[in-house]
Structure 1
Amino acid sequence: MSSLRVPIETDHLILRPFERADCDAVTRYHTLPSVQRYVERPTRYAEDVAAVVGTMRRQTELHRPGDTLSLAMIQKGDRALVGQVCLKWSDATAGQGEVRFAIHPTHSGKGYLTEALTAMFDIAFNHFRVHRLFVRCDGRSHHSIKLMRKLGMRLEAHYREHALFQGEWDEELHFAMLDREWRYDAKVVDMPVRERVVA
């Protein structure tokens, strides 16, 4: 797959690779119980978050199946890190990709995830030429369900009580979209070279 020029700018965000200095900002949302059930691996303590940020700092390219591109969501105004969005190349033969995301709850409902996911979908379909993109979300996360439908994704599976999380059964939904179904209409542009941030 061809290299991607980053950072990427949307109306209100800058999507850039993670940096070592991001640990404190990531800790502020990764360690919250409301976010814990959605992250890929437990991050209850600062050292757990440091390990995750270290991994995400290396996730800057998609070269082979299994690779992940992880980008920090930065507010344009105060340059605060508010969340993350990731694209995983899950299957080369079938052209499959998975998008994952997390956001600090205090920044939820402001349209940031819509912008970040729209940009990531465009990257997946138009830059990396992914054929099918899917997103997993908790069946009780009504905001995520509404967002997936807003983006035009189709509910393809509902896994009922498929896993235990802190003593509670988890409900997992799988949403998907094909490349020919994507309608890109957000303003996403490469940042000028002089504004690029080096990790």
Structure 2
Amino acid sequence: MTAPTYPIETPRLLVRPFADKDLADMIALYAIPEVLRYLYVGKRPDAEVAKSLAERKAKTALNTEGDKMILAIEEKASGQFVGEVVLVWLSETHRSAEAGFIIHPAFQGQGFAREAILPLLRFGFEVMNFHRIIGRCDGRNAASARLMAKLGMRQEAHLIENEFIKGEWTDELAFALLDREWCALQG
């Protein structure tokens, strides 16, 4: 099993596996229209969110292509649920992965997403030996695009109306970071 030691501790956060105690926070997070706006999913029944939590609890390691690490973000000082981060192993042959994040609006704009995703990028490049980690977002999601740029990812594409989501055509922005770029950023 290839996984970080949990919890991953940052100055302000614990990045950890999901637990049963996260259900109410997940239900609340996935009911916020602002959060759902750029996601593929819409408002779901509580039972569906509970099923999603059960699946997340098992996604804590990367063993083979296709595996996902989906981790909860908790603020250390308050114990509050901040959101989630994900690292998906896309291809063994191409040594590639995808990173993502969802942050509760109450915690947005404070650097929590960056602080939580950096350890996953470090794990991806330095432990998993990925060559390339991508990030994608809805073309209207300026905050996510800014974050990926701050992480050192370069925008590689702006795909115009490439997906039909929730009844409308949406653009997609694609970002990427290579292992040599990661090393350069680490000094």
Same fold (TM over 0.5): yes
Q: Distance in 2 between matches of 1:83 and 1:104?
A: 6
Q: Distance in 2 between matches of 1:156 and 1:96?
A: 15
Give the superposition deviation at 1:130. Answer: 1.0
Q: Report whether the alignment pairs 1:80 with 2:68.
A: no
Which residue pairs with 2:121 in the alignment? 121
Q: Distance in 1 between matches of 2:42 and 2:51?
A: 11
Q: Deviations over 1:122-161 (max 9, x none)?
A: 1111121111000011111111111111111011121111
Secondary structure at 2:119 match in 1: helix
One-letter amino acid matched to 1:175: F
Q: More deviation in 23-32 or 42-51?
A: 42-51
Secondary structure at 1:147 match in 2: helix
Give the superposition deviation at 1:31. Answer: 2.1
Give the superposition deviation at 1:42. Answer: 4.2
Which residue pairs with 1:6 in the alignment? 6
Q: Distance in 2 between matches of 1:13 and 1:38?
A: 24
**Which protein has greater RCO, CA pairs closer than 8 Å, 6+ apart?**
1
One-letter amino acid matched to 2:103: I
Give the superposition deviation at 1:163. Answer: 1.9
> Any stretches of 5+ residues in structure 1 without a counterpart?
186-199
Q: Deviations over 1:164-188 (max 9, x none)?
A: 2232221111100101101248xxx
> Any stretches of 5+ residues in structure 2 without a counterpart?
none
Secondary structure at 1:133 match in 2: strand
Which residue pairs with 1:34 in the alignment? 34
Contact 2:3 2:60 in 1 (8 A): no
Which residue pairs with 1:144 in the alignment? 144
Contact 2:40 2:166 in 1 (8 A): no
Secondary structure at 2:2 match in 1: coil
One-letter amino acid matched to 2:126: N
Q: Distance in 2 between matches of 1:115 and 1:165?
A: 29
Which residue pairs with 1:163 in the alignment? 163
Which residue pairs with 1:15 in the alignment? 15
Which residue pairs with 1:89 in the alignment? 89
Secondary structure at 1:129 match in 2: coil
One-letter amino acid matched to 1:27: I
Which residue pairs with 2:131 in the alignment? 131
Give the superposition deviation at 1:45. Answer: 2.0
